[in-house]
Chain A
Amino acid sequence: MSIDLISMILLWFGLYYIVSLSLNMEFGYAGIPNFGKALSVLVGAIAVGGILDRLLMLYFGIGGDFITGTTYATSAINNLIASNPIVGIGILILAIILASILGFVVGAIFILPSAKLKEDYLGITLLAISEAVLLICTYNLNIIGGYYGISTPDILAFVSGEYRGWVFAWIVLFIAFLVYLFFERLLNTPFGRVLRAMRENENTVKAFGRDIMKLRIKTMAIGSAIGAIAGVLYSLYTVNIIANAFTRVDWTFFPFLMVLLGGKGNNKGVALGVLCYVIVKVLLDIYKYNIKYALGIPFEPVWLSYMLFGVLMLLILYYKPSGLIPEKPIITPPMKKKIMEISGK
Chain B
Amino acid sequence: QETTTTQSGSKENVIKVGLLVDLSGGLATYGNNEKHICEIAEEKINKYFEEKGMPYKVKLYVEDTRADPNICLQKVQALHAQGITFFLGPMASGEVKNIKGFINSNKIVIISPSSTAPPQMLGFRTPEEKKYVFRFVPTDNFQGNAIGDVAKQLGLKNVIVIYRKDAWGDGLERATVEKLKANGINIIDEIPYDPNIGDWSPIIQTTTNKIAGKGNDTGVIFIGYEEVATLLSQIDDNSPLLKHVWIGCDGTANSKKVLEEAKNKAVKVKLYSTMFQSETDEAEKIKEEFKKRGYGEPDQYALNVYDAFWVGAISYAEMLNKTGGKYDADLLSKLIKENTVKYSEGQFGVKSVTGYIKLNEWNDRASGNYGIFAVTEDGWKLVGVWDSTTGKINWK
Residues of A in contact with B (beta carbons under 8 Å apart): 1-2, 4-5, 7-8, 67-68, 71-72, 74-75, 139, 147-149, 151-152, 154, 156-157, 160-162, 164-165, 238-240, 242, 244-245, 247, 282, 285-286, 289, 300, 302-303
**B358 interface residue per 8 A CB criterion:** no
Check if B81 sits within 8 Å of A300, measured CB to CB. Answer: no
Check if B70 sits within 8 Å of A242, measured CB to CB. Answer: yes
Check if B77 sits within 8 Å of A8, measured CB to CB. Answer: yes
B194 surroundings in chain A (CB, below 8 A): 139
Check if B82 sits within 8 Å of A5, measured CB to CB. Answer: yes
Check if B82 sits within 8 Å of A75, measured CB to CB. Answer: no
- Given known A-B contacts A239-B101, A239-B105, A302-B24, A8 and B123 have beta carbons under 8 A apart: no
* Residue of B81, B82, B108 ringed by the most chain A CB atoms within 10 A: B81
Chain B residue at minimum C-beta to C-beta distance from A152: B101
10 contacts between A and B (CB under 8 A): A1-B82, A71-B124, A75-B129, A147-B94, A147-B167, A149-B98, A151-B100, A162-B327, A242-B94, A286-B78
B73 surroundings in chain A (CB, below 8 A): 238, 240, 245
Check if B99 sits within 8 Å of A240, measured CB to CB. Answer: yes
**B97 interface residue per 8 A CB criterion:** yes
**B102 interface residue per 8 A CB criterion:** yes
B195 surroundings in chain A (CB, below 8 A): 147
Residues of B in contact with A (beta carbons under 8 Å apart): 23-24, 62, 64, 66, 68-70, 73, 77-78, 80-83, 94, 97-102, 104-108, 120, 123-125, 129, 165-167, 170, 194-195, 327, 329
Cα–Cα distance between A72 and B165 once the two chains are bound (Å): 24
Cα–Cα distance between A74 and B125 once the two chains are bound (Å): 11
Chain B residue at minimum C-beta to C-beta distance from A243: B70
Residue among A147, A152, A247 making CB contact with B165, cutoff 8 Å? A147
- Given known A-B contacts A161-B107, A302-B66, A4 and B98 have beta carbons under 8 A apart: no
- Given known A-B contacts A154-B105, A300-B64, A302-B23, A240 and B97 have beta carbons under 8 A apart: yes
Check if A71 sits within 8 Å of B123, measured CB to CB. Answer: yes
Check if B101 sits within 8 Å of A154, measured CB to CB. Answer: yes
Residue among B81, B94, B105, B327 making CB contact with A8, cutoff 8 Å? B81
Chain A residue at minimum C-beta to C-beta distance from B84: A2
**What number of A-B contacts does a CB cutoff of 8 Å give?**
103
* Chain A nearest Cβ from B4, distance in angstroms: 14
Cα–Cα distance between A141 and B90 once the two chains are bound (Å): 23
Chain B residue at minimum C-beta to C-beta distance from A154: B105
Residue among A68, A157, A240, A247 making CB contact with B98, cutoff 8 Å? A240
Chain A residue at minimum C-beta to C-beta distance from B73: A238
Closest 9 CB pairs of A and B: A239-B101, A161-B107, A8-B81, A240-B101, A2-B83, A245-B70, A161-B106, A300-B24, A71-B123
Check if A285 sits within 8 Å of B78, measured CB to CB. Answer: yes
Cα–Cα distance between A252 and B32 once the two chains are bound (Å): 32
Chain A residue at minimum C-beta to C-beta distance from B132: A161
Chain B residue at minimum C-beta to C-beta distance from A285: B78
B105 surroundings in chain A (CB, below 8 A): 154, 156-157, 161, 164, 239
Cα–Cα distance between A332 and B94 once the two chains are bound (Å): 55
Check if A242 sits within 8 Å of B98, measured CB to CB. Answer: yes
Check if A165 sits within 8 Å of B23, measured CB to CB. Answer: no
Residue among B64, B165, B329 making CB contact with A161, cutoff 8 Å? B329
Check if A149 sits within 8 Å of B102, measured CB to CB. Answer: no
Check if B81 sits within 8 Å of A4, measured CB to CB. Answer: yes
Check if B125 sits within 8 Å of A2, measured CB to CB. Answer: no
Check if B81 sits within 8 Å of A7, measured CB to CB. Answer: yes
B80 surroundings in chain A (CB, below 8 A): 4, 165
Check if B69 sits within 8 Å of A244, measured CB to CB. Answer: yes
Check if A75 sits within 8 Å of B78, measured CB to CB. Answer: no
B329 surroundings in chain A (CB, below 8 A): 161
Check if A240 sits within 8 Å of B102, measured CB to CB. Answer: yes
* Chain B nearest Cβ from A244, distance in angstroms: 5
* Residue of A72, A156, A300 ringed by the most chain B CB atoms within 10 A: A300
Check if B78 sits within 8 Å of A8, measured CB to CB. Answer: yes
A245 surroundings in chain B (CB, below 8 A): 70, 73
Cα–Cα distance between A32 and B1 once the two chains are bound (Å): 49
* Residue of B23, B97, B107 ringed by the most chain A CB atoms within 10 A: B97
